[in-house]
């Protein structure tokens, strides 16, 4: 019998308990061992809940109980969650989590602590909700040198961009609609400014390099400046606008990692990923492209990913093995996002178009829309492009092409 404690009985935590209990027989059949939820840690009581008797308020009850093999941290935040995770790992209890903020900030350190204490730390649910991607990188893609990861890693922004494209609506009205439907938070900043996607690509880039990529070192641009006219130009270019989180290998030493809106071809694998769905496109040097698509959020999708970790942790315990995950505390070498040569869409007021074209000689005019003229500029770094735009003295909006 494997005994589990769940820290936090909120949306994800209650989902984890539900998956473990409702699929108990099926999971036991696959693992060859029964898994039981022994404790649920929460500050609150849950009168009338069928698991009311499992609720404890003191984390010591869990840490001091040698019967607890696995701890699921579904509390969120980097305060108590960090302390409790360290206590569990130090006590030799394996931990799994959905907490991307904690994983991004302390992943390498917690993996090391787990290894020093003969247990494991897993975080499948921290990126892409229910989409299997962490385990895939750590196991199925182990023979590959991963050259690039491109992801639509945030459902809220993907929903907003999909609606703006399909309905021609502006950002503010679509955001309000998304909030009313419960697809966007009342305070949407972490999503719309790209921070959530930034944390997720920092985790994926760390696994891609085996070294630490910090969210604080990643350039992040959200979707708040994208306007309806940009979708008109995108349509004329046969493209969709998506918030793409990217990690690209430059050479044997450095990678570039950033988050920004991109215009991508409609027939690009990520071009058809709409509404709240997420997807991750991984390019390996032997395999080529492989894409993983699904629900990036939601109670049971995220809980299912946490429970996939519980099963792996149970299997590792029974076999007495460490689970594969290479993520050292050494810093990965990051090249600035604006030094890499890329292609861009740029637009300016049509009255200023000649001025802009005169300072960017390679600019190819693509269309006019709503008093704006759009150009495509190839093979230029953002730094060079910004310099040219500044020299032109005109107001320009730009979006990367991918």
One symbol per residue from 296 to 325: x for binding ligand HSE (CB under 6 A), - otherwise; what is it? xx----------------------------
| Contact between 191 and ligand HSE per CB under 6 A | yes
State the nearest-atom distance from the C-beta of 402 to ligand HSE, in Å. Answer: 20
Only segment of 37-45, 107-115, 148-156, 385-393 that touches ligand HSE (CB under 6 A): 148-156
CA distance from start to end of the chain: 50
CA distance 205 to 201: 6
Nearer to ligand HSE, 154 or 373 (CB): 154
93, 200, 295, 398: which one is catalytic? Answer: 200
Only segment of 24-32, 41-49, 154-162, 166-174 that touches ligand HSE (CB under 6 A): 154-162
Residue 348 DSSP one-character state: E
CA distance 119 to 322: 7
For ligand HSE, the binding residue among 196, 221, 342, 382 (CB under 6 A) is 196
Tokens of 178: 């998304």
State the nearest-atom distance from the C-beta of 6 to ligand HSE, in Å. Answer: 19
CA distance 372 to 394: 12
| Contact between 392 and ligand HSE per CB under 6 A | no
Q: Is 8 helix (H, G, I), strand (E, B) or coil?
A: coil
Sign of the four-CA dihedral 310, 315, 321, 323: negative
For ligand HSE, the binding residue among 74, 85, 94, 156 (CB under 6 A) is 156
Only segment of 149-157, 259-267, 318-326, 334-342 that touches ligand HSE (CB under 6 A): 149-157
The continuous run of DSSP H or E covering 290 comes out as strand 288-295
Residues 261-300 that bind ligand HSE (CB under 6 A): 296-297
- Name the residue with tokens 């229910």: 130
200 is catalytic: yes
- Length of the chain equals 402
3-state helix, strand, coil in the chain (%, to 5): 40, 25, 30
Which of 306, 292, 295 minimizes the C-alpha distance to 151?
A: 292
Nearer to ligand HSE, 296 or 314 (CB): 296
State the nearest-atom distance from the C-beta of 222 to ligand HSE, in Å. Answer: 12
State the nearest-atom distance from the C-beta of 185 to ligand HSE, in Å. Answer: 7
Only segment of 12-20, 152-160, 241-249, 336-344 that touches ligand HSE (CB under 6 A): 152-160
For residue 206, give every residue at least 6 positions away whose Cβ sits within 8 Å of its Cβ, in sequence order, or none. 107, 108, 212, 213, 327, 332
Nearer to ligand HSE, 156 or 209 (CB): 156
For ligand HSE, the binding residue among 8, 155, 198, 222 (CB under 6 A) is 155
Can you state the angle between helices 24-31 and 11-22, rounded to 10 degrees?
70
Nearer to ligand HSE, 42 or 196 (CB): 196
| Contact between 206 and ligand HSE per CB under 6 A | no
For 375: left if phi > 0, alpha if psi spans -120 to 50, otherwise beta; the answer is beta
State the nearest-atom distance from the C-beta of 100 to ligand HSE, in Å. Answer: 6
State the nearest-atom distance from the C-beta of 269 to ligand HSE, in Å. Answer: 19
Q: Is 203 helix (H, G, I), strand (E, B) or coil?
A: helix
Residue 322 DSSP one-character state: P
Catalytic positions are: 200
In the complex, the residues that contact ligand HSE under the rule CB under 6 A are: 154-156, 191, 196, 296-297
């Amino acid at each position: 019998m494997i005994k589990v404690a769940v820290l936090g009985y909120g949306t994800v935590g209650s989902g984890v308990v539900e998956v473990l209990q409702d699929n108990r027989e099926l999971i036991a059949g696959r693992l060859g061992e029964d898994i039981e939820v022994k404790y649920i840690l929460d500050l609150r009581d849950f009168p009338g809940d069928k698991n009311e008797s499992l609720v404890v308020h003191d984390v010591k009850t869990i840490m001091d109980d040698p019967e607890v093999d696995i701890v699921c941290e579904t509390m969120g935040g980097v305060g108590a969650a960090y302390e409790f995770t360290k206590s569990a790992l130090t006590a030799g209890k394996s931990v799994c989590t959905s907490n991307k903020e904690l994983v991004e900030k302390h992943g390498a350190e917690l993996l090391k602590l787990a290894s020093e204490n003969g247990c494991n730390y897993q975080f499948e649910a921290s990126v892409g909700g229910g989409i299997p991607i962490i385990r895939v990188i750590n196991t199925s893609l182990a023979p590959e040198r991963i050259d690039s990861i491109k992801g639509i890693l945030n459902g809220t922004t993907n929903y907003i961009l999909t609606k703006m494209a399909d309905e021609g609506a502006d950002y503010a009205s679509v955001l309000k609609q998304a909030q009313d439907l419960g697809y966007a938070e009342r305070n949407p900043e972490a999503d719309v400014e790209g921070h959530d996607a930034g944390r997720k690509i920092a985790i994926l880039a760390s696994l891609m390099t085996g070294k630490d990529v910090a969210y604080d070192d990643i350039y992040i641009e959200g979707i708040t400046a994208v306007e309806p006219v940009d979708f008109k130009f995108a349509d004329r270019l046969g493209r969709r606008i998506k918030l793409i989180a990217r990690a690209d290998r430059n050479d044997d030493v450095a990678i570039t990692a950033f988050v920004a809106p991109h215009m991508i071809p409609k027939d690009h694998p990520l071009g058809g990923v709409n509404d709240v769905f997420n997807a991750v496109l991984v390019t390996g040097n032997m395999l080529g492209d492989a894409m993983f698509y699904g629900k990036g959020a939601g109670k049971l999708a995220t809980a299912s990913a946490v429970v996939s970790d519980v099963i792996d942790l149970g299997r590792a315990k029974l076999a007495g093995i460490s689970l594969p995950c290479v993520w050292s505390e050494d810093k990965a070498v990051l090249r600035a996002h604006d030094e890499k040569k890329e292609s861009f869409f740029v637009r300016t007021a049509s009255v200023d178009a000649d001025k802009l074209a005169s300072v960017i000689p390679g600019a190819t005019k693509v269309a006019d829309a709503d008093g704006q003229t759009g150009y495509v500029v190839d093979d230029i770094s953002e730094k060079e492009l910004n310099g040219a735009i500044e020299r032109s003295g005109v107001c320009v909006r730009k979006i990367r092409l991918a």
